């Protein structure tokens, strides 16, 4: 069954009951003018870094949360183009870029806590068939050293979720294959399916501690995905697990995209406490609650769920996507739409997408294949909006404060009469100071320029035209040195 746009037609309800946010498109002066998009320059080839994925800021208004943007942009049609975990600032300038090998992808880059310290984490691996992946979860410290990796115990870790817990464990999604009778959905009696598995792994030892399988609890016949819609020869992905969260008691919230259902799982027994949405919802769906083929179901308060509602079915677009906050009352068996946020351009995302609740009450959103990342105020106003290049997407986007300093010092790369100051991942750099001279002992400052991304070009002034050596020094906002490169010779001088 296809859901029409009529599900957005909500009757007038008191503001205390529901807040619906649908913004009119605004092409005002705060948007980037043609030819004036904010973007840092391409990297110099000599630096050894390819260009980071392009981010064009379209809107930036006061009131955004502090922090940097954590994304994993990629062009699904050409994985040979450099891509990988990327950190950018509010002007779209790259702060850190870690290209993955050709043929691999990365997802779920964010800041988490491990052993009492802030770390960055991401998943990296290869696509497996359609819509799932096989790879490894990475944990890196504030110097970008990988301090731990996490693998699934029974099959490779999947791309959809890599969530750390306060117990020193990680929650992973897995897509192991299994054989099941698929005649109820028009398939063979001994067909191959993907299971949807949650696995909790002890990070220090790699030992599996807990496991939940969709096939043990959710019959294949409850899917919304027609058997004929699967790619030829691929296992039948009837459930498509795509997010996992846990509450204060340790019970889990699991999203099954192809059953259009959110499940609350009792950790002790593994049994389903209740289901929200889909063919077997435990509760009637209140006005505006119905969702389809969702992503990123998270707790947003006691018995309140926040999810990215793709609003599509069978990978058909045209239905407006949204972020929805849904209140569930298990005792009264009622559900209520608390509020929703849509993009002013009525974006439709047939896959991917997420929404992060920020400390100041704002919400950060990735619109998946629509190629947009946004931040909304608590009242639903669009404060920040940026676009990736055509055909590029980021599965999720997060915003966090992040303070990091790479182990390696900055690098000075000379290209003609320009010196490139490169320090991949350094945060807090406000300016670069360029030194030049004929010998290391006689080098003097000759230029000063504002930081403009992890590769900042500094024109060599005429006064230093005959210098045979150059170096760069990073300065913080107070003008204090943060690090400097080794002296670099100018070829031919």
Phi and psi at residue 271, to the nearest 5° = -80, 155
Dump pLDDT digits (tens) for 296-354.
999 999 999 999 999 987 656 568 999 999 999 999 999 999 999 999 999 999 999 99
Quote the pLDDT of residue 175.
Answer: 97
Q: Give every strand in the sheet of 68-71, ordered side by side.
A: 94-97, 86-88, 68-71, 397-400
Q: How far is CA 465 from CA 260, 386, 416, 457, 481, in A?
A: 65, 40, 11, 16, 25
Quote the pLDDT of residue 232.
Answer: 82
CATH topology of domain 411-489: Immunoglobulin-like (2.60.40)
- Report angle CA 443, 454, 476 to the nearest 5 degrees: 60
Quote the pLDDT of residue 129.
Answer: 76
Backbone dihedral region for residue 405 (phi beyond 0: left; psi -120 to 50: alpha; all else: beta): beta
The CATH 2.120.10.30 portion of the chain extends over 14-400
- Cβ proximity of 135 and 107 under 8 Å: no
Sign of CA dihedral 123, 262, 236, 195: positive
Quote the pLDDT of residue 316.
Answer: 61
- CATH superfamily, domain 14-400, is TolB, C-terminal domain (2.120.10.30)
The neighbour count for residue 26, using CB atoms within 10 Å, is 12
Three state DSSP letters for the chain: CCCCHHHHCCCCCCCCCCEEECCCCCCCCCCCCCCCCECCCCCCHHHCCCCCCCEEEEEECCCCCCCEEEECCECCCCCCCCCCCEEECCCCCEEEECCCCCCCEEEEEEEEEECCEEEEEEEEEEEECCCEEEEEEEEECCCCCEEEEECCCCCCEEEEEEEECCCCEEEEEECCEEEECCHHHCCCCCEEEECCEEEEEECCCCCEEEEEEHHHCCCHHHCCCCHHHCCCCCCECCCCEEEEEECCCCCEEEEEHHHCEEEEECCCCCCEEEEECCCCCCCCCCCCCCCCCCEEEEECCCCEEEEEECCCECCECCCCCEEEEEEEECCCCEEEEEEEECCCCCCCCCCCCEEEECCCCCEEEECECCCEEEEECCCCCEEEEEEECCCCEECCEEEECCCCCCCCCCEEEEECCEEEEECCCCCCCCEEEEEEECCHHHCEEEEEEECCCCEEEEECCHHHCCCCEEEEEEECCCCCEEEECCCEECCCC
Q: pTM for the whole thing?
A: 0.90
Quote the pLDDT of residue 369.
Answer: 95
The CATH 2.60.40.10 portion of the chain extends over 411-489
Question: Which residues in the chain show pLDDT less than 50?
Answer: 1-42
């Amino acid at each position: 069954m296809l859901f029409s746009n009529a599900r957005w037609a909500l009757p007038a309800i008191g503001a205390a009951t529901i807040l619906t946010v649908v913004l009119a498109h605004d092409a005002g002066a705060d948007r980037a003018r043609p030819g004036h998009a904010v973007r840092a320059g391409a990297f110099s080839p000599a630096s050894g870094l390819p260009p980071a994925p392009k981010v064009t800021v379209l809107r930036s208004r006061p009131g955004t949360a502090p922090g940097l943007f954590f994304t994993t942009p990629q062009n699904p049609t050409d994985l040979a183009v450099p891509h990988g975990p990327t950190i950018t600032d509010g002007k779209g300038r790259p702060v850190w870029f870690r290209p993955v090998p050709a043929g691999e992808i990365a997802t779920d880059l964010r800041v988490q806590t491990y052993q009492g310290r802030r770390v960055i984490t991401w998943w990296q691996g290869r696509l497996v068939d359609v819509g799932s992946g096989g790879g490894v979860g990475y944990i890196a410290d504030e110097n970008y050293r990988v301090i731990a990796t996490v693998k699934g115990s029974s099959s490779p870790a999947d791309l959809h979720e890599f969530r750390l817990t306060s117990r020193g464990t990680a929650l992973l999604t897995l897509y192991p294959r299994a054989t099941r009778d698929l005649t109820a959905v028009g398939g063979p009696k001994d067909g191959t399916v993907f299971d949807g598995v949650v696995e909790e792994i002890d990070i220090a030892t790699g030992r599996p501690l807990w496991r939940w399988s969709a096939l043990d609890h959710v019959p294949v016949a409850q899917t919304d995905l027609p058997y004929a819609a699967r790619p030829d020869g691929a296992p039948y992905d009837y459930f498509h697990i795509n997010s996992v969260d846990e509450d204060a008691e340790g019970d889990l919230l699991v999203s099954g995209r192809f059953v259009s259902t959110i499940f609350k799982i009792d950790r002790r027994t593994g049994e389903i406490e209740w289901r929200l949405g889909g063919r077997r919802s435990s509760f009637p769906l209140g006005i505006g609650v119905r969702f389809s083929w969702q992503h990123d179901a998270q707790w947003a308060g006691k018995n309140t769920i926040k999810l990215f509602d793709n609003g599509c079915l069978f990978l058909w677009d045209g239905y407006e996507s949204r972020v929805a906050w849904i209140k569930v009352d298990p005792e009264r068996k009622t559900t209520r739409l608390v509020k929703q946020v849509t993009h002013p351009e009525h974006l439709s995302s047939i896959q991917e997408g997420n929404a992060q609740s920020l400390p100041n009450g704002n919400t950060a959103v990735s619109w998946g294949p629509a190629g947009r990342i946004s931040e909304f105020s608590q009242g639903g106003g669009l404060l920040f909006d940026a676009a990736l290049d055509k055909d590029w997407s980021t599965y999720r986007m997060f915003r966090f404060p992040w303070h990091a300093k790479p182990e390696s010092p900055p690098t000075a790369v000379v290209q003609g009469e320009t010196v490139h100051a490169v320090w991949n991942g350094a945060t807090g750099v406000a300016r670069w100071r360029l030194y030049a001279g004929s010998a290391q002992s006689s080098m003097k400052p000759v230029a000063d320029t504002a930081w403009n991304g992890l590769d900042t070009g500094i024109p060599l002034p005429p006064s230093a035209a005959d210098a045979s050596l150059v170096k760069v020094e990073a300065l913080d906002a107070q003008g204090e040195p943060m690090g400097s490169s080794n002296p670099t010779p100018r070829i031919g001088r």
